[in-house]
Amino acid sequence: MTDKPHVPFALPGHGLVTLEGRDAIAFSHAQFMSDVTSLGDGQWHWSGWLTPKGRVLALFALLRRAPESVWLVLPDADRESFASALRRFVFRSKVAIATPDLPISALLGCGSGGSRDGVLSLDMSGEGGPRTLLIGGDPAAPDPAALARWRAADVAHGLPRLAPAQAEKWTPQQLSLERLRAFSVKKGCYPGQEIVARTHFLGQAKRGLRLLAADVAPAPGERVQDAAGEPLGEVVCVATGTDGLHLIQVVAPLDAADDAFRVHGRTAPARGFLGGLARPA
């Protein structure tokens, strides 16, 4: 845990995209993989945008601010490119898509949600402890150590941190996003919905997200092996844990034994993900 629990620190790489207008909710519900209509004003949940083939383009926290306002917080995807691509689907919908330059920062050791003094806060606490994402207010100073702990918490709770090369590569089931309640198999049509629903109802998800711990750090896209040196999975993202070990998310067989994994020839035992990050709680 940080030794400065009440001092915000910057979250570089995080970006904000806003959807405003009469059709903001309906448009978001039709484009994104979560059930946006299930949210009340002020509520948020995890969501994503898929390709027609059901591959994840971007993951984000989706906040319903008001009946005609949806905000997206993107941890990794470039907000300008995302917004530009999304605008191509507006057609006659009454919705304006923007990328306001509001500071995004965070607190560790403090969990709260709501809006106060012009700062909007999202409670991102889980079993790993309290933490809060902040939108607006004064820009926060960088804190590399706190930022590393934030990323490690994301990875440990099962939130994939997708580098650009990992976009359009994985289905929601391969990333085990049901753990975060980030997609719906019951809502109507949205890009990729047919693939997601078919995989769900036919029980075809044989591979999913596993969390490994190792003293070496592979790069996203690298293969992990079994004890015989055969490929067993592919790295999605990596973070450094508080115990000094590297936390490694891999897409791998769900039935692979916890002690089956090797990274650069070294043992990398699987461990369970922390819970509590799904929203609404």
Rg, C-alpha atoms of the chain: 19
Whole-structure pTM value? 0.94
* Residue 98 tokens, joined: 């923007």
pLDDT band for 110, please (50, 70, 90 cuts).
confident
Domain ranges of the chain: 9-159, 166-271
Residue burial 202-231, b: 16+ Cβ < 10 Å; e: rest: eeeeebbbbbbbbeebbebeeebbbeeeee
Q: What gap in Å lies between CA 187 and CA 28, rounded to an integer?
A: 12
Intra-chain end-to-end CA distance of the chain, in Å: 22
CATH class of this structure's domain 9-159: alpha beta
Please provide the CATH number assigned to the domain covering 166-271.
2.40.30.160
- pLDDT tens profile 122-141: 999 999 999 999 999 999 99
- pLDDT tens profile 237-281: 999 998 889 999 999 999 999 999 999 999 999 999 999 999 986
